Amino acid sequence: ESEIYSDSWHCDSRTTDVLKLFVCLSDVTEDHGPFQILPRDYTIELIEDGYQRTRNKMPNEFVDPDRVVKATGASGTAMLCNTTKCFHRAGHVGKGNIRDIIQFQFVPAENPLPADTEDWVNSVVVHPSEPN
């Protein structure tokens, strides 16, 4: 009856320049509750039909299942997407199953990394949309 994790269709509330790479750490089938996303053009159609870019519990019946893209496949399967611009959600994990996935976020640098620094990692500034 209630949302335990991000299993309702939604768009993230971040700046639009953040790309996310989801990598499956284990084999993922439909029974493992794959990450699901809708293409940008379809997301725009849904928004134009009145759905907000927030967690307003868009009914599953409203979403065309043929337009849902799911991160299923062998361990190492990856999906690169912009979760601010596309409706997405977590799938429902079937009883006795798990879904291990890691997420990498890519954001543009405000300045080039210093060329003369061997310890460049200490020069990286956290993106304004991320907590320190």
Model-level pTM greater than 0.85?
no
pLDDT tens string 77-125: 999 999 999 999 989 899 999 989 999 999 887 777 777 777 777 777 7
Q: Are 73 and 89 in contact (CB under 8 A)?
A: no
Give me the DSSP letters along 100-123. Answer: -EEEEEE---SSPPPTT-S-GGGG
pLDDT category of residue 15 using cuts at 50, 70 and 90: confident
The span from the CA of 60 to the CA of 8, in Å, is 9
Polymer length in residues for the chain: 132
The whole-number pLDDT of residue 52 equals: 63
